[in-house]
């Protein structure tokens, strides 16, 4: 096992940067920075700073659902990426957690 950091970024689905979805911009910058990988998860219900609940339920269909972007890599690489987020995120939440990483892909069997 290898020590790593998990970077989890919570933003709204309709948040934008440079006229593109914010989650899209974050993933592309993470890729350009050479980070190991990034995944985007769309929430089905949640609330944040506005204290307004957003949901996918049909009677209260929302277009601004919560989105989580998860990136895991070596601690130095994650910390070097954090200034990119300072530039991009106007409202959201960023968490950095210590994790243990096991690599399974790319190894001969």
Burial tier of 51 (Cβ tally within 10 Å: 0-12, 13-18, 19+):
exposed
| Backbone torsions φ then ψ of 85, nearest 5 degrees | -70, -35
Q: Answer positive or negative: Cα dihedral of 78, 88, 27, 71.
A: positive
Reference 99, options 71, 67, 58; nearest CA is 71
Q: pTM of the predicted model, to two decimals?
A: 0.84
Spatial neighbors of 28 by CB under 8 A, at least 6 apart, are none
- pLDDT tens, residue by residue, 49-89: 666 666 666 555 556 788 999 999 999 999 999 999 999 99
Right CATH for 2-101 from 1.10.3720.10, 3.30.70.120, 2.60.40.10, 3.40.50.1170:
3.30.70.120
Sequence ranges of the domains in the chain: 2-101
pLDDT at residue 33 greater than cutoff 80: yes
């Amino acid at each position: 096992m290898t020590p790593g950091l998990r970077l989890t970024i919570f933003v709204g689905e309709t948040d934008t940067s440079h006229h593109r979805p914010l989650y899209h911009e974050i993933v592309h910058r993470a890729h350009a920075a050479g980070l190991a990988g990034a995944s985007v998860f769309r929430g089905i219900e949640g609330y944040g700073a506005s204290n307004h609940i957003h949901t996918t339920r049909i009677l209260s269909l929302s277009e601004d659902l919560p989105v989580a972007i998860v990136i895991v890599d070596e601690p130095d690489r994650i910390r070097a990426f954090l200034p990119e987020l300072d530039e991009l995120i106007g409202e959201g939440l960023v968490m950095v957690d210590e994790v243990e990483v096991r690599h399974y892909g790319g190894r001969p069997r």
